[in-house]
Amino acid sequence: MKLYSSATSPFVRKVLVCLQELGIDDQVQKKIAGGTPLDAGTVPVEENPLGKVPILIRDDGHAIYDSRIITRYLNDYADGSLYPDDETLWDVLTIEATAEGMMDAALLMTYEVRVRPEGFQMPDMVEGQWSKIARSLDLIENQWMDHLAGALDASHIALGCALGYIDLRHDTRGWRDGHPQLAEWYANVAERPSMQATAPYV
């Protein structure tokens, strides 16, 4: 298999962490690719018309995306337990979706200042995106810590990668303030070998 990858994408990192946790990292060749909403750059648009990474090319040559489909595919491929078979699946998928939304919002905040020319940038857009993240942090701190205390699953991986990206690009926001349980949980997750091995590099 081949993965179109990137050094800083939290969506790609989620896939990389899953590969490590599932013990199949050596079965996937990585190729760096990247673009922006303005220019797909080196992302193979013939494989993903949306021009985004990650993209996984399966052994049969078919491409699959986006990251949530890839992680679920890999879990099935490796007969893993990152997505449970019981009713807790819905909790896992909901937390995973929340983490994905946090990544989307954090990425849009980054694009607003990096991609949009000065003079056209909208500070209100950045604040609107941050408010999505802030509300998500509150909800997780108040509602999901019991789930996060359990065995590692896809929701833990997604959330760990979302928080890692916020540290990378938006650390001045101080997300740990007011979220002490989540901050402690993240400190532990960030120590996992899979997270250490996939830390973003710039």
Ligand X SMILES: N[C@@H](CCC(=O)N[C@@H](CS)C(=O)NCC(=O)O)C(=O)O
Binding site for ligand X (CB under 6 A): 6, 9, 11, 35-37, 51-54, 65-68, 107
CA 101, CA 104: separation in Å to the nearest integer? 5
CA 67, CA 58: separation in Å to the nearest integer? 14
CA 36, CA 27: separation in Å to the nearest integer? 28
**In angstroms, what is the minimal distance from the CB of 120 to ligand X?**
17
CB 48 within 8 A of CB 55: yes
**In angstroms, what is the minimal distance from the CB of 60 to ligand X?**
21
Compare residues 3 and 140 and give the one whose CB is closer to ligand X: 3
**In angstroms, what is the minimal distance from the CB of 181 to ligand X?**
26
Compare residues 21 and 179 and give the one whose CB is closer to ligand X: 21
Q: Which of 101, 130, 102, 126 is nearest to 112 (CA)?
A: 126
Which amino acid, residue 36?
Answer: T
Compare residues 108 and 145 and give the one whose CB is closer to ligand X: 108
Q: What is the DSSP letter of 158?
A: H
Compare residues 52 and 179 and give the one whose CB is closer to ligand X: 52
Which amino acid, residue 181?
Answer: Q
CB 157 within 8 A of CB 14: yes
**In angstroms, what is the minimal distance from the CB of 189 to ligand X?**
19
Compare residues 19 and 53 and give the one whose CB is closer to ligand X: 53
CA distances from 39 to 9, 112, 181 (A): 16, 15, 40
CB 175 within 8 A of CB 186: no
**In angstroms, what is the minimal distance from the CB of 147 to ligand X?**
21
**In angstroms, what is the minimal distance from the CB of 149 to ligand X?**
26
Compare residues 33 and 179 and give the one whose CB is closer to ligand X: 33
